[in-house]
Amino acid sequence: MSVDVHSWYTWAALFVTLTAYIIVAGLRKPISFLPFHTPCNKVLANVSQTTRLVLVRILRQGHIPAHISFIMDGNRRYARTQHLKATSGHISGFHNLTRVLDWCNALGITHVSVFAFAINNFTRSADEVEALMDLATNKLRELATKSELVKKHNVRICVVGNRSMLSEEVQRAAEFAEEETKNNTGLRLNICFPYSATDEISFAVQKVAEDVASGEVRVEDVDERVVADRLRIKSPDPDILVRTSGQVRFSNYMLWQSAKHTHIQFIDVFWPNFSFFHMFCILVSWQLARSQISYRKA
């Protein structure tokens, strides 16, 4: 049975675990107890497997979100800090995504959405766009056929976006990934690619207009639910939306779905550096805010 996160024994376990971890870390570097600040990132980013399992158990004593969404920002800036090409930053971002999905599965989160490529990213240099398309083609096929994560956790892959803007090769890779995992019953991964919220809403409105014209829907019955049912993303509205890299904007991502009750977190860390400790702090923040969010829903 789920235990309220405010209960004294949950917080006692949390206090003991974090205290023990900080002692083990040795406090060799200055720490800010604001967990998204750089000094804390350096010390606490690499949480050990044992500590992570303990923290997961603590979190699971409280409520767990059904859907968490990520704007995976900062790959290029991460690459610059490492004196690497932009493509290397995107590859590092992909590797971190597999780690994040593993954490989400361990926590019992059933829907994860990621902003992989914005429609306006087509305005970037031709070389970078081509490299990103090649990366997407390879990684979609790799996820569907070779990923231990997908096989182990029965992940279903859904590529969400305006596919007409993609080359035939990338479209085939997206279709292949979806077909290979369509019967999987575990975590649902929505890869938004290429995507914008305004394009998705326009698509839904066009579908409503078509259904009205065909007589499937009456004009007087058109409401928010009718439009929402025709959005491309077929998951519940996100409980949490996280944007990395320190930017404080939505960048035209999941505007419809995030408009009401989503808990928004902007954190100052590049996506490849996003750690389990960041995830832990975000979920604790959501659990603490959940009673107020539930009240607004009611």
155: which residues sit within 8 A by CB, 6+ positions away? 101, 105, 143, 147, 149, 181, 184, 186, 187, 188, 189
Among 55, 59, 63, 90, the one annotated catalytic: 90
Assess whether 187 carries a catalytic annotation. Answer: yes
90 is annotated as an active-site residue: yes
Specify whether the CB–CB gap between 160 and 232 falls below 8 A.
yes
Catalytic residue among 187, 189, 231, 283: 187
199 is catalytic: no
CA distance 265 to 254: 14
Locate 86 and state its tokens. 């932009």
Q: Is there a cis peptide before residue 238, judged by omega within 30 degrees of 0?
A: no
Give the 3-state secondary structure of residue 110: coil
Q: Point out the catalytic residue in the list 44, 59, 73, 143.
A: 73
Backbone phi, then psi, for 119, in 5-degree steps? -55, -40
Residue among 283, 293, 298, 275 at smallest CA distance from 100 = 275
Q: Which residue has the tokens 């439009």?
A: 227
CB 114 within 8 A of CB 195: no
- Catalytic residue positions, numbered: 73, 90, 187
